[in-house]
Amino acid sequence: MGYIIHTNHYLSNKLEYLNKYGAEQRSIDSIQRLRRFDELLKKERGNITVDKLKEFLSDHANYPYTICRHGEMKTVASIISEPESHCMHVSAGNPCEGRYYTYEMEY
């Protein structure tokens, strides 16, 4: 099973030039959060669950470049998608403070 991590910068060589149109600080922040999330995923490889992903999305390591952001650059929502199970887990606001709601997707 694979995974996709999304933060707020472009990784594609074809689109990377667009990063210059965002604030430099935002790109630095996004890169650090992506690295941290990838680190957590690799550390738990083979043991990833939805609850584990919720824990990762609530992570506060590497301040000020935390995955779960507070203050001026606040996390407004987090989503965990399970395409094979046809469901999504969505939390509004900071995942460390909020509740995840599960939505089933119909085809």
Residue with tokens 């390591």: 61
Q: List pLDDT tens digits, range 70-107.
A: 988 888 999 999 998 999 999 999 999 999 999 998 87
Q: List pLDDT tens digits, range 27-65.
A: 677 778 888 998 999 999 889 999 999 999 999 999 988
With contact defined as beta carbons under 8 Å apart, do 93 and 75 qualify? yes
CA-nearest of 73, 72, 81, 78 to 93 is 78
CA-nearest of 36, 48, 54, 51 to 98 is 54
Main-chain phi, psi angles of 80, to 5 degrees: -120, 120
At residue 8, the pLDDT reads 67
Main-chain phi, psi angles of 10, to 5 degrees: -85, 140
CA-nearest of 8, 16, 6 to 37 is 6
Tokens matching residue 102:
């599960």
